[in-house]
Amino acid sequence: MRIACVQADVSFRDPQANLSKAVAKLEELAANSVDLAVFPEAYLTGYCVDSQSEADTLGIERDAIEPMQSACNRLGILAVVGFAERCGSHNFNGAALLEPGREPRFYRKVHLPHLGLDRFVRAGDELNVFDTKLGRIGILICYDLRPPEASRALALAGAELIVLPTNWPKGAETSAEHIAIARAAENGVFVATCDRVGKENGFEFIGLSKIIDPSGHVLAAAGAGEETIWADVDLAAARNKRVVNIPGKYEIDVMACRRPELYGALQDRQ
């Protein structure tokens, strides 16, 4: 399968403009045999707000993404896209998984930093692995990558690929350049990070999107500007956690070596 990460700028508080760009990009990627397109965190809405009232008017309902779902149906391509979600009187930092012929599925950011939209939304409460025609996909959003437990939980639940729509501003280079690679290698899964670029209400975003294989090798990497990266991957590689360097002499298994009976503190220290 071919994964693409669409590293792009965002039109703040203009969902229609962002939807139009997304649909056009899906058409371009489908013509290049891309199976899954990943867009940044809050791509459809923007992210940088400074008050609850601004957050309340930034969000869009889930059904607003219908033009992207229709495009996926027509083009036969999957997509993951981030947006500020309005649900009744509550707001969430969400992402939609769009698959041809299926109802959209959704993820809500679980770990919230004191930054932008995340200061004014509710945290999600599920870490789901989604079965798709391509394989088993887990979704995290931006800061969800920092606590290692989230990626490990998805890997233990059978995720073969973790996609990360993100808005990494200046100062988050460690996440882009090191932590994403570590999460892939320590869990034996593919990781696709998709950052945005440009400036928004006082913040500048760094790009540096990546597609990483289960051994931690970077298959494709973006710079600091608008660009789309892609890589061809075989998700079956994430199902075999055993790495044989020298048969019988140098073999490792990132899951089989675990000692859960020693990890009680992870649950005890709330």
Please report the pLDDT score of residue 108 as a whole number: 98
Domains of the chain, each with CATH number or no CATH? 2-240 (3.60.110.10)
Please report the pLDDT score of residue 266 as a whole number: 85
Distance of alpha carbon 265 from alpha carbon 242, whole angstroms: 27
76: pLDDT strictly greater than 70: yes
Residue-wise pLDDT for 212-228, tens only, equals: 999 999 999 999 999 99
Its pTM stands at 0.98
Distance of alpha carbon 42 from alpha carbon 30, whole angstroms: 22
